[in-house]
Amino acid sequence: MPDDPLKAADAILRGEPRFVDLLRVRTDEGRIRLYAGGGGIGLDAQAARYASGTYRRFPGRSRYIASALRALVGFVPFEVRVDFPGTDLIPEEAKALVVAALKTPTYGAGLRLAPGATLEDGLVHVS
């Protein structure tokens, strides 16, 4: 999308609608979340807090990198289980710093966690 609000509005009004995949996630607390591009849990959430606070004046990717490094200090890996309902896939359990379910190639400030991901392929990339 263009940075200019008027050009962005024009692109939306003149654009062609299309169907994209939607992710439905149930959190540990039982809450349901919907994502079009993807979402994550863990270190990235803490980094996002720093990126929008302490490091908000850092330019571009340097803000996210500095925030991630700061968030890493004292961060304890957490237990995670990923289930794949309706499939024959075996649930995955591990300790993690970050878990992301993605429909787009990049995440955060352009980190390429799922280079083959697209919004319309019916697949989810878990990193």
- pLDDT truncated to tens, each residue of the chain (127 aa)? 788 999 989 988 998 888 888 888 777 788 898 888 877 778 888 888 898 898 999 998 888 889 889 999 988 998 988 787 888 989 889 898 888 878 888 876 677 888 888 888 887 777 6
User: Residue 1 corresponds to which amino acid?
Assistant: M
Quick check: 101 and 39 in contact, CB under 8 A? yes
Q: pTM for the whole thing?
A: 0.62
Widest CA span in the chain: 48
Q: What is the Cα–Cα distance from 49 to 71, expressed in whole angstroms? A: 9
Start-end of H helices in 73-116:
none
